[in-house]
Amino acid sequence: MPRSAVQRPVPGFHQLVGGSVPIDHLLQDGQILELSPQLHLRVIHSPGHSPGSTSFYLQEEGIVIAGDAVPVPGDMPVYDDPLVSLESVKRLKALEIINAQVSSWDDAHVGQDARAALDRAIELIERIHSAVRVVANQIEPTDPLAFCRKVLGALQLPETLANPLVARTFLGHYKLRDRETLRE
């Protein structure tokens, strides 16, 4: 079984991504890729959605290409470690100039809304944490999908979003349930 199928237990995921992709160059956090003499792309390691998630920053234009690093309010939250995900979004928000921000599952955000979208992602991670803490006081996550559906209800999200990946997201928060907030 491909490693991606183990990490992403979603039916049809292997077909969705088209199979494995060969790697011919490893990127390093902070590395600058010269696209042209006037255009540079900074590599930003932004784990959370997955351990190797990477975002890119088109420096001269102030454009953040966030990939899957930025959870979107109202959509399916997928990350394993809430603290790591939160830190990645904060790293992106701390970039000096943000004129635009694009993510995999969201519309592009331009101008002031670009940084505001990152603020909304931070608030979402905290809101999920609060919902998990409330649900954890009601039931134990012995059945991860039942726990997931209960948290989705607390977040006023449809139960149809319940799947093993979202359940993993909520279980990541459950491990930190003694923390009132993740910003501690």
CATH assignment of the domain containing 103: 3.60.15.10
- Asked if residue 32 belongs to a domain, the reply is yes
- Asked if residue 115 belongs to a domain, the reply is yes
Query: What percentage of the chain reaches a pLDDT higher than 70?
Result: 91
Matching residue, tokens 């790293």: 91
- Give me 43's structure tokens: 């590599």
Pairing outcome for strands 54-58 and 100-103:
unpaired
Helix residue ranges, H only, the chain: 3-7, 13-17, 82-93, 112-136, 144-154, 164-174
Single-letter residue type at 112? Q
The domain total for the chain is 1
pTM recorded for the entire structure: 0.88
| pLDDT tens digit sequence for 136-161 | 999 999 999 999 999 999 999 999 99
- Asked if residue 130 belongs to a domain, the reply is yes
Q: Which of 72, 46, 48, 47 is nearest to 155 (CA)?
A: 72
- Asked if residue 7 belongs to a domain, the reply is no
| pLDDT tens digit sequence for 159-175 | 999 999 999 999 999 99
- Asked if residue 136 belongs to a domain, the reply is yes
Measure the CA–CA gap between 77 and 127, rounded to whole angstroms: 11
β-bridge partners, 41: 33, 58
- Asked if residue 23 belongs to a domain, the reply is no
- Asked if residue 134 belongs to a domain, the reply is yes
For the chain, the straight-line distance linking the first and the last C-alpha, in angstroms and rounded, comes to 39
Residue 93 has what pLDDT? 97
Domain hosting residue 82, numbered range? 28-174
- Give me 61's structure tokens: 């234009």
Q: Which of 160, 3, 168 is nearest to 78 (CA)?
A: 168
Residue 52 has what pLDDT? 86
- Asked if residue 9 belongs to a domain, the reply is no
pLDDT band at 10 (very low <50, low <70, confident <90, very high): low
